[in-house]
A and B are shown apart, each in its own frame.
Chain A
Amino acid sequence: MLYREAGQFKATYVEDQQIFPIRQDRIAFAILLAVAFLVVPLVGNQYWLSAILTPFLVASLATIGLNILTGYAGQLSLGTAAFMAVGAFMAYNFELRMPWMPILGSFALAGLCAAAVGMVFGLPSLRIKGFYLAVATLACQFFVLWALQRIGWFTNYSTSGVITAQKIVILGYAVVTPASKYLLTLSVVAVMALLAKNLMRSQTGRAFMAVRDMDVAAEVIGIRMMRTKLLAFAISSFYCGVAGALYAFCYLGTVEPEAFNLDISFRILFMVIVGGVGSILGSFLGAGFITLLPIFLNLVSGWIRHTFGVELDHAMLSNLELIIFGGLIIFFLIVEPLGLARLWQIGKEKLRLWPFPH
């Protein structure tokens, strides 16, 4: 089947404003979802499910969160990991102190706590922008980790400062196998991604982008600056908070505050840049790319060893990874600020016209 939109006329605005206006895209997406939900849990081995796909999904969710704030609303933040930490530790505390609470309820409440923290640390955005705002969110990063390490209540006074996420039980079914944890993560991420997409194509998303692109004009047409910026911080932090809870409960299992250090914040920011600023699809592409890059490099080094008999040592590989990271980030910042999502779109536009060059 050729990739064409010819003959697919949009009779109504509802049809024109679908997430996937082209039928082939809808079919491809449905197949992708079916594979992710039905095939992968059956055929995926433990390593792929729990060491690659689950953290990839969690990273995608956090990237969506940061993308809402930075990509859509234009507020630069380095506090992503802090909001994730709030989500992780609060979900643990809700489960601990209110054991009757369903796990998804705990995740949602944890997300709300992260949203509250996000709003507090978003207050400076009413006065400062760009680099200075990034520095203010950096303060959030350090303050939250400090509080989690120093205030015993958060870790239930554990002497090591490490918490162990409770066992997940949903409707009497224990979520313990890698496949079931993967499925839980996938479900949460898929639903939240859809909600984010809807929100960003509605008035709220347009208000975010308006504030990002031209704040004076936004104010003059009636968009409330304070409300819009704080809402962006709240929603973004909610997403990061839920991502943090999933990270703790479905991936790490035992968690210390240091797991959410500045490194993670930067990693998520890189995923936004590489994937595409202001794109939900791009958030997945960016997260996927950066999660898979080390694995890909490993494969390449294995292949080199096999064919040329040359051994690439581990230190060299991780340096190589950093170099490629840096190069890519510079490339995307300078050449294609809209990231992989844009490259994907350009590819599709070409395909739509293929085989004619114009």
Chain B
Amino acid sequence: MTDVIVRIRGLAKSYRRGGQSVPVLEDLDLDIRSGDFLALMGPSGSGKSTLLNLIAGIDKPDRGTLEVEGVDITRLGESDLARWRASHVGFIFQFYNLLPVLTALENVELPLVLTSLGRRERRERAELALSMVGLSDRVKHYPSELSGGQQQRVAIARAIITDPTLLVADEPTGDLDRVSAGEILDLIGRLNSELGKTIIMVTHDQRAAERAHSIVNLEKGALVRAT
């Protein structure tokens, strides 16, 4: 349980805006233990999403190393990084990001298209994942026919279907009412406690952060306090 699964050293990222370089993250160090449930907090614009995107391998830092299970993902090329994401990262977005033309089941099945699994097995796994999030009766529904909370649960099923090392969530309850938000947080908590998933969650919500084991605060590109 004390193995470090994510090791970040000297990470820096800046954006160019109007010909000028705006630093977002500067010389950041962070260790995340395997099985941790980490909340990433901080004011708007502090770089939370930027950091999460770097850890999830959908953006590249300017400097520094970012090792996940000993692999420095900053050194991977685009295709290798894509393959790495497919097998190591589960994404949960604020706006769910389901494909509107696919049913709940098909959305969940989607990441498995990149694996060598056969059609039948993909389907069975997707059904299992949907039942884990309590949506067995909604498999044939399209996203537009589901509530926000239900859509987020489909997205969670999609995130866990490949059994990834990391689950990253950027304000997963940001677009939900209190009740649905509570349900989603329960579900994410169970993924951590029951399945032992390492979870990194960006949130503004203090109550959401309380579910986490540890909280990291970002302020102006630097870690302020880590618990």
Chains A and B come from one and the same complex: no
Interface positions of A (Cβ within 8 A of B): none
Interface positions of B (Cβ within 8 A of A): none
